[in-house]
Amino acid sequence: MTDADTILHVDGLARHFGGVKAVDGATFSVKRGSITSLIGPNGAGKTTAFNLVTGFESADAGRVHFAGDDVSRLRADHRARKGMVRTFQLTRVLGKMTVLENAMLAAPDQPGERMWNVLTPRRWRSREAEVKAQALEVLDEIGLSEKAGDYAATLSGGQRKLLELGRALMARPDLMMLDEPMAGVNPTLGRQLLEYLDRLRTERGLTVLFIEHDMDVVMGVSDEVVVMTQGRVLMQDRPDVVRKDARVIDAYLGGADE
Amino acid sequence: MAPRAVRVGSARFRMDDLLQTTINGIASGSIYALGAIGLSLVYAILKLVNFAHGDFMTLGGYVAFAVNVSLGMPLVVAIAAAVVAVAVLGLVTEELIWRPMRKRGAGLMQMLLLSIGLAFVLRNLILLTWTGESRKLNVDDTASYGIGIGRVSLLQILVIGIAAAALVGVGLLLTRTYVGKSMRALSDSFDLAEVSGIDTKRVVTYTWILGGGLAGLAGVLAAVFTTLTPNMGWTLLLGIFAAIILGGIGNPFGALVGGLALGLVQEWSTNFVEPTYKEAIGFAVLILALLFRPNGLLGHATRTG
Amino acid sequence: MGPLLAFGFWAYVLTVAGIYAIFVLGLQVHVGDTGLLNFGHVAFMAAGAYSTGLMVTNGVPLLAAIPLAMLVAALLGVLVGLPTLRLRGDYFAIVTIAAGEILRIMIQNQQGATGGTLGLRKASGGWPSFNRDILRWFEDTLGIELERRVPLLVITWLVALVIALLLVRIGRSPWRRALRAVRENEDAVAAAGKPVFQLKLQALALGAAIAGVSGVLFTLLQTSLYPENFEPIVTFVGFAILILGGIGSYFGVVLGSILISFIISGVRFLDFPLAADKVAALRFVVIGLIIMAVMAFRPQGLFGKKEELHLD
Ligand SMILES: Nc1ncnc2c1ncn2[C@@H]1O[C@H](COP(=O)(O)OP(=O)(O)OP(=O)(O)O)[C@@H](O)[C@H]1O
Ligand SMILES: [Mg+2]
């Protein structure tokens, strides 16, 4: 079912809240090394789909395959360790920790995070230095290096979005799932970041799946577009095909009517 | 009628024990439910986990004691006095503590810890005023009536009857009246209710009148049913919290179900284990229930977005 | 001699303060570091105390019983944590009180083993005779006549100091960074691939073990244990200390525990025309007012950092 080219395959995913079918049998897949966008009108179920794929909410039905493994039953943190890292539409910064600490937290393989190593710093000091250097680099890349020592709670909305992205980058994922990463970020910086992600794709083989409402951005950078409406996947195809599809236009206008 | 014997597990108990413990369970469950609904309303609307609620109840008990025993007035007057007194206490704390704190943007935990401080103060002021001696209200606690194969005491009838009337009243109030509907709107979203033109200040006032009044009533009934000590409400509070959590926090109807469930489980357990364990069993059931329904029996999942 | 001048009495008060300090250092790991609103902390103290008592009264030497008692407390932490740590914060708070009450009721009812309400006697095992040896040694070799409560006072505060220093050292580790992150936002931590549940369980066990130590020292101080020593009020006095000192501040814990212990014992000496039980009530009125005032006007406590306050 999943070939080597597919990093993520989602099959028949469903979740309802009371009477609302937020996600209603969504099926789509993401090609390894691609930039894929997930679009759809407000309330289409995109964020819920992200929550289900990453394990932050439990699905009523459906399967999630990641890098060939069925991860449907794994907890969120376990899925993240497997290389699937997401950001949140409503940012989740660690407000009473510094921006630098926010970034450092997400680095993988930290021996100092094990309880029995806490009293023997020699086991983690060198890794800690490495992590710090990386974090400073990432902060530089997302334009937050001047804020490194500030509490994250002091950041603006756009800066928080950036920090979310930075934290995800620190986790060195194979698949980066971004929920409206550009919302509130100044467009020039937004474009720079997209270029940066594109660079990571060629350098590291990163795959990006992102939710975005700005069609120019979506059509400009995506290899593939997944369109959701009312909890279902309407279609998945190349941007130029999606752009011309009558159903997609209809879905957006229909969504605007309600 | 000859008692029928039923075998459950290894324990042997009789049908009339079951009936008797059911009556007891409904009576103590009604008290939990009354306390729980008031606490739950305050939580739902004001996002305040009020640890002083048990001591509000205790105060209700003592006000009734003062009126009923010290002044020698009838129980009805005592109940009315207790309800009014605790409602007023609720309003006073709203004016002096909760509203100013909300204005300053105090968080849930800050308010919760504040309410613990208030609980200490109230309980010990009660202790200073009325001493630690246990008190009884002036009701006939020996009268009882046979019904079928069980007995129900006058006290139980009183407690169940008053509680049922109050609960029906609250149910009607919440579902049928404008104030009740506004309360439910506020519990869904305070801000949304405010922008949609509901007079939130008025609703908050009614919340304290209702929440405090119910606490006062629950306090009197608890005092009638058990004995009145300065620790009475505090001891009941944990069971009340258990009832609320069982029913799903912030849901007044859930609180009713949770209260009755807790009362019944505790009393039924006395058919199988020593009665000294019944509180522990109630709490164990709470923990077990949460294992399977982490949001309570009637609760729903919170939103992740 | 008036009680104000009685050194032995103040030594007792300060020992109690030290025991509270240790108890609250454990609570600090839960509440301040990890954001776990543990309202049943007293259960871990009870576990430390009663397991010490039960072991020594059944012939286990005190020195062997102490580490085992810490282990029992830590295991109880794991046991309580497994079903409850996935719950919302306010549910967790209430369920932990319930768990503590279950333990206390069990201790109370298992009269055969624990003595129930009659108390568990001679729970401190070989400590009283060891204490006498210490006092004799001081008198014989140094010619110093120590008050009999002094050795435990010194030991208690040494233990408190060691635990505080260890916690400060732990404080610089990535592990504690992860705990603080859990306190701030669990979802963010899970999204970063960190095992939230495990981290919480570890924090709960560590804080419980520390509370277990306070239970051991409590046993040495009192020699007899009663279930009513472990009512929920103890946890709330712990919270009063935590709030006063400042959530997140280890130094604040030490000062908070001394202050609160002096309030609890000190009100005794104000010259009120009141009966003893009224004075007892009065001091809890004072403690309640302190909690309220601190929460209202200085929620970060006397020594906490305002920026790190996490009460919302
Ligand atoms: N926890 C929840 N409880 C109740 N309803 C929910 C919950 N989460 C989502 N929903 C509902 O499910 C539907 C889909 O929501 P979702 O947030 O997934 O949409 P979305 O496509 O991300 O929208 P947007 O573009 O506005 O972010 C909406 O109708 C929403 O109200
Ligand atoms: Mg969304």
C33 touches C183 (CB < 8 A): yes
Give the Cα-Cα-Cα angle C79, C82, C84 (nearest 5 degrees): 105
**Minimal Cα–Cα distance from B93 to chain C, Å?**
12
Superfamily of domain A6-93+173-253: P-loop containing nucleotide triphosphate hydrolases (3.40.50.300)
Instruction: Examine the pLDDT at B94 and tell me if it is beyond 70.
Output: yes
Residue C234 to residue C216: CA distance in whole angstroms: 15
Interface of C with B in 205-264 (CB under 8 A): 232, 236, 239-240, 243
Give the Cα-Cα-Cα angle B31, B234, B212 (nearest 5 degrees): 60
Strand partners, A98: A151
Give first-to-last CA distance, chain B, whole Å.
61
Instruction: Examine the pLDDT at A1 and tell me if it is beyond 70.
Output: no
Instruction: Examine the pLDDT at A14 and tell me if it is beyond 90.
Output: yes
pLDDT digits (tens, 9 = 90+) for C9-47: 889 999 999 999 999 999 999 998 999 999 999 999 999
Which ligand does the CA of B303 lie closest to? 1
Q: For chain B, how many helices (H) and strands (E)?
A: 12, 4
Interface of B with A in 261-300 (CB under 8 A): 300
Q: How far is the CA of C280 from the centre of ligand 2 (A)?
A: 56
Burial of C272 (0-12, 13-18, 19+ CB in 10 A): exposed
* Phi, psi torsion values for C11, nearest 5 degrees: -60, -40
Q: Which two tokens stand for residue A94?
A: 């660690």
Instruction: Examine the pLDDT at C1 and tell me if it is beyond 50.
Output: no
C238 touches C223 (CB < 8 A): no
Which ligand does the CA of A39 lie closest to? 1
User: Would you state the pLDDT for residue A3?
Assistant: 66
Query: Using a CB-CB distance cutoff of 8 angstroms, which residues of chain A are in contact with residue C183?
Result: 96
Closest CA to A53 of A93, A17, A20, A11: A11
Residue B195 to residue A127: CA distance in whole angstroms: 52
User: Would you state the pLDDT for residue B24?
Assistant: 87
Query: Using a CB-CB distance cutoff of 8 angstroms, which residues of chain A are in contact with residue C180?
Result: 94, 96-97, 101
Instruction: Examine the pLDDT at C2 and tell me if it is beyond 70.
Output: no
Across the beta sheet with A6-17, what order do the strands follow? A20-31, A6-17, A61-66, A69-70
- The shares of helix, strand and coil residues in chain B, as percent rounded to the nearest 5, are 70, 5, 20
SS3 A157: helix
Which of the 8 DSSP states describes residue A209? E
Closest CA to B286 of B276, B277, B278, B296: B296
A212 touches chain B (CB under 8 A): no
Pocket residue to mutate for ligand 1, from A48, A182, A227, most atoms within 8 A of Cβ: A48
Whats the size of chain A, residue-wise? 258
Low-confidence winner among A81-85, A107-111, B292-296, C105-109 (lowest mean pLDDT): B292-296
CATH 3.40.50.300 in chain A, residue ranges: 6-93+173-253
Beta strand A69-70 pairing with A6-17? unpaired
pLDDT interval class at A69 (50, 70, 90): very high
Binary contact (A108, C187; C-beta < 8 A)? no
Residue C125: CB partners within 8 Å, gap ≥ 6?
C52, C56, C57, C60, C61, C62, C65
The neighbour count for residue B226, using CB atoms within 10 Å, is 17
C187 touches chain A (CB under 8 A): yes
pLDDT digits (tens, 9 = 90+) for A35-68: 999 999 999 999 999 999 999 999 999 999 999 8
User: Would you state the pLDDT for residue C72?
Assistant: 97
Instruction: Examine the pLDDT at C272 and tell me if it is beyond 70.
Output: no
Q: For chain A, how many helices (H) and strands (E)?
A: 9, 10
Name all chains with 3 or more CB-CB pairs below 8 Å to chain B: A, C
Strand partners, A28: A10
**Minimal Cα–Cα distance from A91 to chain B, Å?**
9
What element of type H or E holds B16? Answer: helix B15-46
- Interface predicted TM-score (ipTM): 0.91
Look at the domain B5-292 and name its fold: ABC transporter involved in vitamin B12 uptake, BtuC (1.10.3470)
pLDDT interval class at C306 (50, 70, 90): low
Which residue's CA lies nearest to atom 25 of ligand 1?
Answer: A42
Binding pocket residue ranges, ligand 1, CB within 6 Å: A 17, 20, 22, 40, 42-48, 89; B 303, 305
Binary contact (B305, A17; C-beta < 8 A)? no
pLDDT interval class at B218 (50, 70, 90): very high
Average predicted confidence (pLDDT) for chain A: 90
**Minimal Cα–Cα distance from A90 to chain B, Å?**
6
Which residue type is seen at C103? Answer: L
pLDDT digits (tens, 9 = 90+) for C135-176: 999 999 988 888 889 999 999 999 999 999 999 999 889 999
The neighbour count for residue B292, using CB atoms within 10 Å, is 7
Which ligand does the CA of A213 lie closest to? 1
Residue of B nearest to A92 (CA): B305
User: Would you state the pLDDT for residue B149?
Assistant: 65
Query: Using a CB-CB distance cutoff of 8 angstroms, which residues of chain C are in contact with residue B107?
Result: 311-312
Interface of A with C in 30-69 (CB under 8 A): 54, 56
Binary contact (A104, C174; C-beta < 8 A)? yes
Instruction: Examine the pLDDT at B56 and tell me if it is beyond 80.
Output: yes
pLDDT digits (tens, 9 = 90+) for A127-172: 999 999 999 999 998 889 999 999 999 998 889 999 999 999 999 9
Give the Cα-Cα-Cα angle A25, A26, A31 (nearest 5 degrees): 150
Burial of B154 (0-12, 13-18, 19+ CB in 10 A): middle
pLDDT digits (tens, 9 = 90+) for C221-259: 999 999 999 998 899 889 989 888 888 788 889 999 998
Residue A76 to residue A53: CA distance in whole angstroms: 9
A126 touches A134 (CB < 8 A): no
Q: Ligand 1 atom closest to Cα of A46?
A: 21
A197 touches A217 (CB < 8 A): no
Residue of A nearest to C248 (CA): A96
Which residue's CA lies nearest to atom 2 of ligand 1?
Answer: B303
Residue C289 to residue B136: CA distance in whole angstroms: 30
Q: How far is the CA of C153 from the centre of ligand 1 (A)?
A: 59
Residue of B nearest to A179 (CA): B305
Binary contact (B287, C243; C-beta < 8 A)? no
Which residue's CA lies nearest to atom 5 of ligand 1?
Answer: A17
pLDDT interval class at C278 (50, 70, 90): confident
Residue B99 to residue C16: CA distance in whole angstroms: 37
Query: Using a CB-CB distance cutoff of 8 angstroms, which residues of chain A are in contact with residue B300?
Result: 17-18
Widest CA span in chain B: 66
Interface of A with C in 80-99 (CB under 8 A): 80-81, 85-88, 92-97
**What is the torsion angle, in degrees rounded to the nearest 10, for the CA atoms of residue C190, residue C194, residue C195 and residue C201?**
-100
Share of residues in chain C with pLDDT > 90 (%): 59
Instruction: Examine the pLDDT at B191 and tell me if it is beyond 90.
Output: no
Closest CA to A99 of A131, A55, A145: A145
Residue of B nearest to C89 (CA): B109
pLDDT digits (tens, 9 = 90+) for C177-214: 999 999 999 999 999 999 999 999 999 999 999 999 99
Which residue's CA lies nearest to atom 17 of ligand 1?
Answer: A47
User: Would you state the pLDDT for residue C267?
Assistant: 61
**Minimal Cα–Cα distance from C278 to chain B, Å?**
6
Strand partners, B146: B151
pLDDT digits (tens, 9 = 90+) for C41-81: 999 999 999 999 999 999 999 999 999 999 999 999 999 99
Model confidence, pTM: 0.88
* Range among B2-16, B157-171, C15-29 with highest mean pLDDT value: C15-29
Instruction: Examine the pLDDT at C268 and tell me if it is beyond 70.
Output: no
Name all chains with 3 or more CB-CB pairs below 8 Å to chain C: A, B
Mean pLDDT of A57-85: 94
The neighbour count for residue B229, using CB atoms within 10 Å, is 21
Angle separating helix axes C250-266 and C276-297, nearest 10 degrees: 150
Which residue type is seen at C110? Answer: Q
Binary contact (A51, B304; C-beta < 8 A)? yes
Burial of B288 (0-12, 13-18, 19+ CB in 10 A): exposed
pLDDT interval class at B304 (50, 70, 90): very low
Residue C81 to residue C197: CA distance in whole angstroms: 9
Residue of A nearest to B299 (CA): A18
A247 touches chain B (CB under 8 A): no
pLDDT interval class at B132 (50, 70, 90): confident
Q: Which of B300, B301, B305 sits opposite A89 (nearest CB)?
A: B305
- The shares of helix, strand and coil residues in chain A, as percent rounded to the nearest 5, are 45, 25, 30
Closest CA to A126 of A114, A112, A138: A112
Residue A183 to residue C227: CA distance in whole angstroms: 57
Closest CA to B271 of B45, B21, B39, B100: B21
Average predicted confidence (pLDDT) for chain B: 84
3-state secondary structure B170-199: HHHHHHHCHHHHHHHHHHHCHHHHHHCCCC
User: Would you state the pLDDT for residue A127?
Assistant: 95
Mean pLDDT of B68-89: 94
Instruction: Examine the pLDDT at B305 and tell me if it is beyond 50.
Output: no
Binary contact (B124, C281; C-beta < 8 A)? yes
Q: Which of B120, B283, B290 sits opposite C285 (nearest CB)?
A: B120
3-state secondary structure chain C: CCHHHCHHHHHHHHHHHHHHHHHHHHHHHHHHHCCCCCCCCHHHHHHHHHHHHHHHHCCCCHHHHHHHHHHHHHHHHHHHHHHHCCCCHHHHHHHHHHHHHHHHHHHHHCHHHHCHHHCECCCCCCHHHHHHHHHHHHHHHHCCCCCCCHHHHHHHHHHHHHHHHHHHHHHCCHHHHHHHHHHHCHHHHHHCCCCHHHHHHHHHHHHHHHHHHHHHHHHHHHCCECHHHHCHHHHHHHHHHHHHHCCCCHHHHHHHHHHHHHHHHHHHHCCCCCCHHHHHHHHHHHHHHHHHHHHHHCCCCCCCCHHHCCCC
Binary contact (C170, A119; C-beta < 8 A)? yes
